[in-house]
Amino acid sequence: MRVFATIVKGSLEMSHSEGVYSHKITVPLDERGLAALGRFCAEHKITSCMCSSSIDFPEEDGAPEGFDAHEFLDSALKFAL
């Protein structure tokens, strides 16, 4: 399974593919988005992911100043465990 996360226009986008199947979710960077991302990770049994550089520098891609994308992803992935 290949899982990739990135910040796009102030939202977090996660996609995963396995064989010929692929799924993608785009969520806002708030509590509702965190809950939706957590459910997506649980549903697809995602426990880790690769990240684009936008996760390291989220403000450059529209995230609010001081937003910690690593913490956001970690929280969503813990929900899936």
Q: What is the mean pLDDT of residues 52-75?
A: 94
Domain range annotation of the chain: 2-79
Q: Residue 36: phi, psi to the nearest 5?
A: -65, -40
pLDDT over 90 (residue 81): no
> At what angle are helices 69-79 and 31-43 packed, to 10 degrees?
50
Q: What is the mean pLDDT of residues 43-55?
A: 93
pLDDT over 80 (residue 76): yes
- The residue that leads in pLDDT, 80 or 40, is 40
**Would you place residue 80 in the very low, low, confident or very high pLDDT band (cuts 50, 70, 90)?**
confident
